[in-house]
Amino acid sequence: MMQGWTDAEGPSDPLREELARFFTPRRVPATARDRALRDRGRSVTLGEGLIATVWGDGPAVLMAHGWESRGTHWGSFIDPLTEAGFRVIATDGPAHGDSPGARTHILECGLALAAVGRDLGGLAGVVGHSWGAAAAVIAASRGLQAERVVLLGGPATLRGVVSRWCRRREITGVEESRFHSIVEEIVGVPLDSLDITRLAPRLAQPALIVHDRGDEEIPVEEGMAVAATWPTSKLLLTERYGHRRLLLAKEVIAEVVDFLGGDPVGTEGRAGRPEQTANDAASRAAAARERDS
């Protein structure tokens, strides 16, 4: 899978250890619940060797999980989507779940999704959460054919992802600058070129962007910024779910199913907040930037 830097080629400690952590997801073991859900579906290998599970029949919806997650963590979406007539394909991303690899990065995950899309043909939609939201947009910009895109709690910029990691790991100053440079070198392209806010204006698909105001991992302003740059997007802001419980919220799941089916989300979303257009999001994102400056 991931090419380029290895421990032997990396910088000296302690930055080498931090880089290893950054590119090495901890695998989440499958629980009994995960295994039961997987056994209800059909196991397949897609793209460049990714393990996936398929449930149902009909137009295909591809699900892209977040960092250190696995495909079966979409469990709450499976029955609502299949009952709506969709075929659901949930992959284990590179170096995640049952898929091969030890290390990975966001461009590799995006390209892996694009390869899965080529195997599947045209998709009714692609749904991504967190890291998977960024990978889904990168895949769409690299040829993934999906009629609609859903982003749940996704980031706006990759440099922001790296900066938040550095803050959590107390990497500051010159070392943080070096960390950014080395990450960019390993990924192989400028990080700014992968920013969702840079890719979104080039995408014609309708998008539903869902973000919780209390997201503790990716600030709500990131989702607002993505919506502000995606001309055909709709932004749904929720309360009380945080970053991970979006995947369990019945109101959010119902909105996603309706959106993928082509129905409008409506002026008042089930999640209890008025839906916003891209223009609304642009105004709110600008106000948030002004407050933070």
| pLDDT 10s digits, 153-207 | 999 999 999 999 999 999 999 999 999 999 999 999 999 999 999 999 999 999 9
* Tens digit of each residue's pLDDT (9 = 90 or more) over 131-145: 999 999 999 999 999
Q: What is the distance between the alpha carbons of residues 113 and 106, in angstroms, rounded to a whole number? A: 11
pLDDT tens digits, 48-102: 999 999 999 999 999 999 999 999 999 999 999 999 999 999 999 999 999 999 9
The residues, any chain, with a CB within 8 Å of residue 164's CB and separated by 6 or more, are 217, 218
With beta carbons less than 8 A apart as the criterion, state whether 107 and 161 touch: no
Report the sign of the C-alpha dihedral through residues 136, 160, 279, 271, in that order. Answer: positive
Nearest to 109 by CA among 146, 149, 144: 144
